[in-house]
Amino acid sequence: MVRKIIVCVLADLFLACSSNPDPVEDPSDVDDGLFQYGELVDGKFEPVLRMRQPAFASLSSQGMIDHVGYGGYGRVIKRLVEKYDQTKISKATVRIIVLDSAFNRYPDIVPVDVMFYRTGETENNKYVFQTLIHEPLDPDYDPEKHGRLILFSRDPKDQGIHGNFHVIHVKGPGDNFRYEVVSW
């Protein structure tokens, strides 16, 4: 599969642009440059083996959000970060900017700030940051401490935090993303 990847140079903390493939069969295809999309399975990140970014026409109610989010369409975004004194942090706010298939910013989609939390684990001698680090149905789960599942909707009214979910407005499954660190 030919993929376009644009690396945005600002800092090596989280920054990258993405190409967004169609539904995938191979877990290596869910790698979005420096970001990966997956699910938490038994508390561990697992790359998705199907649609990386399922985009719903509308998520009309909290019940619908819960149904699709817990029903296998909620996503966890993962990023490995080089180990430096500056990156030994517990969390970071990352701005996600939605881009079209030509990597142009949509003027009518408001960027969304999403929290990434350090898992406490390392991979390839790098810190692991994810949008969710604890199972949301576990009694100890707190979205302010453990993050949220990510959902994608084509309805701009859906964007924002809805309980244990963070909904991002997209135009469709061919959209791309640029990630910018806002604070840590």
Name the band, by pLDDT with cuts 50, 70 and 90, for residue 184: confident
Domain membership of residue 3 (yes or no) is no
- Give the pLDDT of residue 153: 95
Number of structural domains, the chain? 1
Work out the average pLDDT over 10-34.
37
- How high is the mean pLDDT of the chain? 82
Domain membership of residue 53 (yes or no) is yes
Is the pLDDT assigned to residue 20 strictly greater than 50? no
**More confident of the two residues 111 and 9:** 111
Domain membership of residue 5 (yes or no) is no
Q: What pTM does this model have?
A: 0.80
Name the band, by pLDDT with cuts 50, 70 and 90, for residue 1: very low
Domain membership of residue 49 (yes or no) is yes
DSSP line for 81-110: EE--GGG--SEEEEEEEEE-TTSPBPTTS-
Sign of CA dihedral 158, 159, 161, 164: positive
- Are 89 and 51 in contact by the 8 Å Cβ rule? The answer is no
* Residue-number span of the structural domain to which 111 is assigned: 16-183
Domain membership of residue 4 (yes or no) is no
Is the pLDDT assigned to residue 53 strictly greater than 90? no
What share of the chain has pLDDT > 70, as a percent? 80
- Give the pLDDT of residue 162: 96
Domain membership of residue 115 (yes or no) is yes
Name the band, by pLDDT with cuts 50, 70 and 90, for residue 64: very high
pLDDT tens per residue across span 85-142: 888 999 999 999 999 989 999 999 999 999 999 998 899 999 999 999 999 999 999 9
Task: Tell me how far apart the alpha carbons of residues 170 and 155 are, in angstroms, rounded to a whole number.
Answer: 8
- Give the pLDDT of residue 146: 97
Domain membership of residue 76 (yes or no) is yes
53: three-class secondary structure by DSSP: coil
- Give the pLDDT of residue 145: 96
- Give the pLDDT of residue 33: 60
Domain membership of residue 176 (yes or no) is yes
